[in-house]
Copies of this chain bind each other. A is one copy, B any other.
Amino acid sequence: MISTALLGFGIVGSGTAEVLTRNQALIESRIGDSFRIRYILDLREFPDSPFAPLIVHDFNTILNDPEISVVAEMMGGSHPAYDFTKALLMAGKSVVTSNKEVVANFGTELLQIARENGVHYLFEASVGGGIPIISPLRKDFSSNRITAISGILNGTTNYILTRMKNEGAAFDDVLRDAQRLGYAERNPAADVEGLDAARKTVILAAMAFGKRLDPNAIHCEGITNITPEDCAYAESAGYAIKLIGHTSLMDGRVVAMVSPRAVRADNPIYGVNDVFNGILVEADMVGKVMFYGPGAGKLPTASAVAADMIEIMSGRTVDAAEWTDAGTDDIADFDGYVCRSLLTFDVPKEQAAGLRAVFGASDYFTGRNGKHTFVTKPMSEAETLARIASAGFPLVSRIRVLD
């Protein structure tokens, strides 16, 4: 009999209790042992819940119970989640989590503490909700060098962008509607300004390249400045605008960034709409593989938390990864990041040729209503900005292309 505990009985916590209970017999047959949820830590009481007898308010009850060997942390926020996790790992208990903030901020240290104590720290649910992505990166691409990961990592912003594209609606209007429908939080800043995606991008970058960057220091643009016109310019060129977390290597240094990107219709990410997530992994042997599914939600996220618990309970855990915190030399200079851009300038028809003189030929170039839209060749951030400045016409829209 394996004894487990849950930290947090919110959406993911209660979902995890539900998954573990509803499929308990199946899970026990898979791990070859029986298990129980012994405690659920929460500040609140849940008198009407079938799990009410398991609720405890004192973390030390769990920390000091020698029978508890696996704990799922689903509290959210850095503190006390980080502190509890650290204490549990040092006490020789494995921890799994859905808490991307803790993994992105403290993953290096927590993975090391787990190793030193012969236990595990797993975090499948921290990226992509129910979509398996951390586990494939740990296991299924083991014969590959990862070269890049690009993904729609935030369902709220993807829902907003999908509706802006389909309806030509303004950001503010769709956001209000999303809040009303429960797809966006009352304070949507972490979603719409990109921080949620930045944390997930940092986790993916660390899984791919072994270096953890500071999620608050990477290049991060949200979608608050995206207009229906931006969407229309992109659509006219065959692209959709998606909020993309991207990581890759440049001269051996890590690029990690979040920004709106123009995704062409032949990219599998193009069709990832509404609240769904899609994560495209590029690796040297396998090429491009995409993982698609529900990036959030009670039971999907709980499914991933439970999978990590099952991996530990079955006694055949592959270590998550060995990360180091990135030093200055590990991080690519963002000015040097190379991509194509979808640019729209406000330029009189008879002067549009001047744009070609500055940016060179483009396989796409169209003008209407005095606006000219085209896709540049690949060039660095610095060069792109310099050419825009020297174009001599007002820039209306710039969206980086995801190739």
Interface residues of A (CB under 8 A from B): 19-20, 22-23, 26-27, 30, 124, 130-132, 135-136, 139-145, 266, 268, 270-273, 276, 283-294, 297, 299-300, 302-304, 306-307, 309-311, 314, 316-318
Contacts and interface: CB of A to CB of B under 8 A. Distances in A.
| Across the A-B interface, the 6 shortest Cβ-Cβ residue pairs | A143-B306, A289-B293, A132-B140, A271-B271, A130-B286, A290-B292
Contacts of A292: 268, 289-292
A289 B286 contact: no
A311 B143 contact: no
Contacts of A288: 293-294
A287 B270 contact: no
A307 B26 contact: no
Interface of A is mostly: mixed
A344 to B, nearest CB: 26
B303 A286 contact: yes
Contacts of A286: 130, 293-294, 299-300, 303-304
A291 B294 contact: no
A41 B144 CA distance: 24
A284 B23 contact: yes
A143 B294 contact: no
A302 B287 contact: no
Contacts of A297: 287
Given A23-B284, A23-B285, A287-B297, 8 more contacts: A22-B285, A139-B311, A143-B309, A271-B271, A286-B300, A287-B293, A289-B293, A290-B293
A299 B287 CA distance: 8
Contacts of A290: 290-293
A304 B141 CA distance: 8
A314 B318 contact: yes
A317 B311 CA distance: 11
A314 B317 CA distance: 11
Contacts of A273: 266
A326 B268 CA distance: 36
B271 A144 contact: no
Contact of A289 (B27, B130, B285, B289): B130
B314 A145 contact: no
A143 B287 contact: no
A271 to B, nearest CB: 4
Contact of A131 (B270, B289, B309): B289
B26 A145 contact: yes
A307 B131 contact: no
A264 B304 CA distance: 28
A142 B311 contact: yes
A332 B68 CA distance: 44
Given A284-B23, A286-B294, A289-B292, A142 B270 contact: no
Contacts of A306: 142-143, 285
B20 A143 contact: yes
Nearest to A265: B271
Most buried by B among A135, A144, A294: A144
A22 B289 CA distance: 20
A303 B144 contact: yes
Contacts of A19: 143, 285
A285 B139 CA distance: 23
Nearest to A274: B266
B135 A140 contact: yes
B142 A307 contact: yes
B270 A303 contact: no
Contacts of A23: 143-145, 284-285
